[in-house]
Chain A
Amino acid sequence: MNHEEILLVVQEKFLSSERVTAFLCDAKLLRPDCIKKDRLLAIVEYGDEKAVFCLFTSCYPPKSFTDLSIEIVLPIDNSFKCEIDNKPSDPEAILYLNLQSRNSKFKFEIQMTPRVDNFVDDLFRGIEAVNKLPTQPEFVWLKKYIGQREDDIIAQTMILPRSGVAHTQMSAPVAIRESLIKRKMSDKEFEYTFTKRFTIFCGTWNVNDKSPVIPLKGWLCVDKEPPDIYAVGFQELDLSKETFLFDQTLREDEWYNAVRSNIDPRAKYVKVEIVRLVGMMLIILIKEKHMSHVRNVVCDTVGTGIMGKMGNKGGVSVRFDLHNTSICFVNSHLAAHVEEYERRNQDFRDICNRTRFVQANQLPKAIKDHDQIYWLGDLNYRITELDPLSVKKMVNENNFAPVLEWDQLRQQHKINNVFAGYTEGMITFKPTYKYDPGTDHWDSSEKNRAPAWCDRIFWKGDNITQLAYRSHPALNISDHKPVSALFTSAIKIVDEEKYRKIYEEVIKQLDKLENELIPQVKVDVTEIDFGTVRYLELQVRSITIKNTGKLPVEFEFIKKLDETSFCKEWLIVEPYKKCICADESCEIQLKVLINKTSACKMNAGTDKLYDILVLHLYGGKDIFITVNGTYQRSCFGCSIEVLVNLNIPIREVPVGKLIELESKRDQYISNQSTYSIPKEIWFLVDHIYLHGLKEPNLFEQPGLHSEVLQIRDWLDTGSIDPIPGSIHSVAEALLLLLESTADPIIPYNLHPVCLRACANYLQCKQIVMELPEFRKNVFLYLCEFLQEALQHSDENGLDAKTLSTLFGAIFLRDNPNVVQEPQSRMNKQIIDKKKAQFVHHFLVNDHSDLIFSR
C-alpha cells in the first residue's frame, strides 16, 4: 500500500466534508507511564477549521477505516502549540513532536521521513491561519469525535417509530459485534494460519553496577545462525541513589549500545522495544525483515522492592504480536537474601498480578494472556541445607545433580509455588553467583555463601523447544555470570487469503444470526377469496401462522395509515393479536358478514369486498393479507327510492346501474314507471295480509334464519314460485328489509322534531305530510296494514302498544354513523317511549285523509 492508498483509508474514517490534508504513520505516543505504538497522526480540515487526530491502527497499513480508532482529538485553535525536538546524534533519526491544545499535552516520537516535512508544514499553516482569524472557531464538528470511549463496541440500537401505523418495538439484540467477531476469528485461527519456526535468544545478566567495558560477543553471538529475536535483560544496571530516586541513568544507553554492537553481525536487527525500571532493563530486538509483522508493542513495569512498590526489585515486560502469535518477555529481579524464597515467590506473583498491558480498544492484557512467555532474570533463589564447601566441591566437579536437589527454585517450582505451568531446561552449567568480580573464583568475602543458580530462564507456551541453556563465565566483570537460552518456537502466520475468506464467513454468520433473531413466520395463504358473499350469510375462512423463527413471536393486525380500524367493518378477525411460541402455529379465522350497514355501502359502490390486512410481527416484518370476494347484491340495503325504480328483480340489474341509481336517490319523483312503494315490501306485506293476519304471535315469534335467506333470494330473483317459509319468517324478513333500507323511513334530521311532537297527533300528522314521497307512502301503507292486523288481535295476539314500540324503533331508527352521546338508561327508555308514542297515533287513528291527500 502506498501513501495515497492509506490516505484513502484514513479519509474513510471521516465525513467527506472533513478532509484529511496530511497524515503520518508510525507515530509513537509517549506517556509518562508507557509508550503507545502504532499511532497515526492526521490533520483534518472542515471549512476553515483544522484539528489533529491521533488514531490507533490495529493493523498496519490499515486495510479499512474500521482498523482505525480515534484516540485523541486536538483542535487547532489559538491555544494550540507545536514544538519539535530532535536528537541529531540519534542514529535512527527520531523526531519528537510536542502537541498542546487547550489543557492537553502530548508527545509523539516520529521516524524522520520526507513525509514529516509535509505534515509539519501543514500543521504550521493551520496554526498561522487560526491566529489570523478574528474570532475563534467553535469546532462543532469535533463534538462527535470527542469523548468517544475506547471500549465502545456496543452498537447503538435504534428504535424507529412507525407513525400512523402501529409502533414497532425493535427488540433485536444489541450486538456486541466486534468482540464476537474477534472471538469467532480466534476460534478458527488454525484454519487460516500456518506455523513457521523462529529462533529466540534470551539472555540475562546481573551486571552489578558495572559499565560495559568488555565485549559481549561471547554471550550474545555464540550460535550457529543469527537468532530471529533477541531478548536481553539486565539487572543492577546502576545502583546509584540518583537512579533509584529519579530513575535516570546513563547506563541505559551504554548497555543498549553495547548490546547493539555485539549482537550477531550476520543479520540486521531493529529495536522492538526497550523498557527499564531503575536497574532492570529489557531490550527486544528483531531481525529487520520481521519488523513489519510486529504489532501492538506494549510494555509495563512493576516494582516490588522497598514498600512493595519501589523499582529496586520487580519486573519489566514487553509484549507484542508477531504475525498471529502473542509473545511476552519478562525480565525480573526478585528479592535477595538466602532465606527469603517466600518473598521471591511473592514477588513473582505480584509481577504476574500487577503487570498490565493497556491497548486501545481492548481489555488490558496480563502476562498469562499470551501464547508464548519467556521469563528471565536474576531470580535470586539459592542453595540451602548444603554446606558451602561441599557445594563448591561438587560443582567444581560438574556434579550438579545433588546440588540442584537443594535449589530453592527447583523445589518451589516442583510444588507449584512459583512458575506454575512454566518450564525450565536442564541446568548443565556452574552456578552463576557469586564470584569475585573480574575472576572465575567463588566469592571470597567473609559471608562464605554457597554458590547458587540465581540467573535463570523459564518459558511457557506450546511448540517451544529449548536448543541451548548455558552460562558465559568468560564475561567476568560482575559477581554474576551471564546466562542465555536459545529457543526455536512456532509462530503462527496468517494466510491472508484464507483469513479474508474466513473473516467474511464469520461476518456473514453474524449478520445471519442477527437477522435470524428477527421474528419469522410462515403464513399459509396471503390471498383469501370468499367467492360469492350474500347478505347476512356468514362466511368463514382461516389462515395459519406458523412461527418458523427461534423465538416466540407476537403478532397483531395493525391499522393502515389514516384508518380507524385494522380491517373493514364487514370483516371479523379472530384472534387479531396473539403470541406464538417457536415452532407452534396459530389459526386465525376471518369471517365476512354483510349486514345492513355494509350492504348499503356495497350497493352504493362506496365499499367493495376487498381489503388488505397488515399482519405485523413485533420486532419484525409485516405481511399483507388480501381479502376479497364478490357481493351478490340484494334488495336488502337498498334505498326505498331505488327500489321503487326497479321493475325487474335486483339480480338482473347490472351493478353499475344500481350504483348509479343509488347515487341519485335523492332526486327521484314519481312517474309512470315508478312504483308507489317498493314491490318487495308489497310482496311481503301482501303475503302476510293474505295468509297470516290471524297467525298467533305475529311479529313476535322469530322466523328461521334459513327461511329468511330463502325469502331474500325469492325477492332478489323475482321468482314466480310462492314465497317460501313460514309467516313468521316472512314477517321477520319484512322487519329486516325495513331496517336495512339505506335511509330510515323517517329521515334522521326529522327525529328530534318527531320526538318533540309525539304527544300531539296533529303535529305528528304534519311531519308525516312532509316526508319524502316514497317514504311517506311506505309509512302510511305499513300503518294501514298494521291497523288491519290489529283488527285480528284476538287471533294474532297483537296490540297497538307492542306494535308501535316495534315499528317506532324501525321507522325512527338511530343513526349508526352518529356517535351517540352517552345516554343514561332512563333517557334511552324515554326516547324509545316517545318513538312508540309517535307511531301509536297512526295505529289507532284514522288517517285516511293523509292517504287521499295525494
Chain B
Amino acid sequence: MGVGKSCLLHQFTEKKFMADCPHTIGVEFGTRIIEVAGQKIKLQIWDTAGQERFRAVTRSYYRGAAGALMVYDITRRSTYNHLSSWLTDTRNLTNPSTVIFLIGNKSDLDGQRDVTYEEAKQFADENGLMFVEASAKTGQNVEEAFLETAKKIYQSIQDGRLDLNAAESGVQHKPASPGRPLAAPPAARDNCAC
C-alpha cells in the first residue's frame, strides 16, 4: 500500500477516488489546465513510482521540475520518517527555486493517525516547505495543494526567482500570439516516499 500519490493525481485530474490503485511501476502522467492570476496554465504532473527499488531511476525525473509534491501517509509513521531522505534527494536534484509542497495524505483516516499535524507542520516549517493534510479519498485539500503549488511557481516567475530561459526551470512559455506579453505555465511534479 502506497502513500497515495497516484490517487491524489487522479483526484486532481479526474475528481474521482481510485479505490484499488495498483503500485505505480514507472512514471504516470496527468495534465490539467488551471487559471492563475488570469493566466491559463497547463500543469504537467508526473507521478513517480514510490517503491524504494525504483528510486535510482525516478531520480532522473526530478531535474527540471518547477515544483515537487512530497507525500506521506498520516497513518504510517514509517512513511513520514523517510521524508528527510526524499527531501535531500529532491533538493540535490532540483534547482533552488523549485517549489516543494508537503502533503500528509489520508486525512480522512483521522482515527488511525500516526503522525500529528503539528509535528509535520513543524518539519515543513523548518525545511521551508508548504504543507497541507489532504485526502485523496474525500478530495479534501487536494485541489488546494496543486493550485497553491502552481500559484507559488507563478509567483517565483513574477519575482524573477525562476528564470524561464533556463533550460531546467521546468516551465515553458508558449507565446499564443505574436507580440503577446509574458505568460508562463509551470509544471508540477509529484514524487515522494512510500
Contact = CB atoms under 8 A, between A and B. Distances in A.
Interface in B23-81: 25-33, 35-42, 44, 49, 53-54, 56-57, 59-61, 63-64
Contact of B14 (A147, A508, A622): A508
B19 interface: no
Given A155-B33, A615-B26, A160 B40 contact: no
Given A504-B15, A623-B25, A146 B181 contact: yes
B13 interface: yes
B38 A145 contact: yes
A621 B44 contact: no
Contact of B37 (A14, A162, A518): A14
A41 to B, nearest CB: 16
B138 interface: no
A504 B183 CA distance: 27
B183 A507 contact: no
Interface residues of A, number: 56
A809 to B, nearest CB: 39
Given A13-B38, A612-B54, A165 B61 contact: yes
B1 interface: no
Which of A18, A148, A153 counts the most chain B CB atoms within 10 A? Answer: A148
Contacts of A143: 181-182
Given A515-B14, A612-B57, A624 B49 contact: yes
A172 B183 CA distance: 19
B170 A15 contact: no
Contacts of A18: 37
B54 A172 contact: no
A544 B187 CA distance: 32
The A interface, classified by DSSP as helix, strand, loop or mixed, is loop
A795 interface: no
A109 to B, nearest CB: 25
A246 interface: no
Given A159-B172, A511-B13, A15 B35 contact: no
B167 A163 contact: yes
B91 interface: no
Interface stretch (B82-90, B106-114, B121-129, B150-158): B150-158
A831 interface: no
A165 B29 contact: no
B176 A154 contact: yes
B187 A144 contact: no
Contacts of A512: 14
A159 B177 CA distance: 17
A372 B183 CA distance: 40
A152 interface: yes
Interface string A691-721: 0000000000000000000000000000000
Nearest to B38: A70
B155 A16 contact: yes
B35 A66 contact: yes
Nearest to A170: B44
Contacts of B63: 163-164, 561
Interface string B125-166: 000000000000000000000000001001100100000000
B4 interface: no
Contact of B176 (A66, A152, A507): A152
Which of B29, B53, B57, B64 counts the most chain A CB atoms within 10 A? Answer: B29
B185 A158 contact: yes
B155 A15 contact: yes
A560 B183 CA distance: 32
A564 B11 CA distance: 37
Given A16-B151, A65-B35, A143-B182, A511 B14 contact: yes
Given A147-B181, A165-B60, A614-B57, A177 B33 contact: yes
Contact of B15 (A70, A141, A163, A511): A511
A802 B6 CA distance: 65
A325 interface: no
Interface string A507-519: 1100110110010
Nearest to B43: A158
B14 A152 contact: no
Contacts of A829: none
B155 A514 contact: no
A158 B44 contact: yes
A508 B185 CA distance: 22
A19 to B, nearest CB: 13
Contacts of A498: none
B17 to A, nearest CB: 13
A115 interface: no
A626 interface: yes
Interface string A553-570: 000000011000000000
A16 B16 CA distance: 29
B31 A162 contact: no
B67 to A, nearest CB: 12
Given A149-B177, A156-B176, A159-B172, A515 B15 contact: no
Which of B30, B38, B41, B57 counts the most chain A CB atoms within 10 A? Answer: B38
A152 B40 contact: yes
A560 B168 CA distance: 17
Contacts of B176: 149, 152, 154, 156
Contacts of A311: none
Which A-B residue pairs are the 9 nearest by beta carbons? A561-B60, A623-B26, A622-B27, A621-B29, A155-B40, A155-B33, A624-B26, A622-B26, A526-B25
Given A143-B182, A156-B40, 10 more contacts: A143-B181, A144-B181, A161-B167, A163-B64, A507-B15, A560-B56, A612-B57, A614-B26, A624-B49, A626-B53
21 contacts: A15-B37, A65-B35, A144-B38, A144-B158, A144-B183, A154-B176, A156-B39, A156-B174, A158-B42, A158-B44, A159-B174, A165-B61, A177-B40, A507-B15, A508-B15, A511-B13, A518-B31, A615-B26, A621-B29, A624-B26, A624-B57
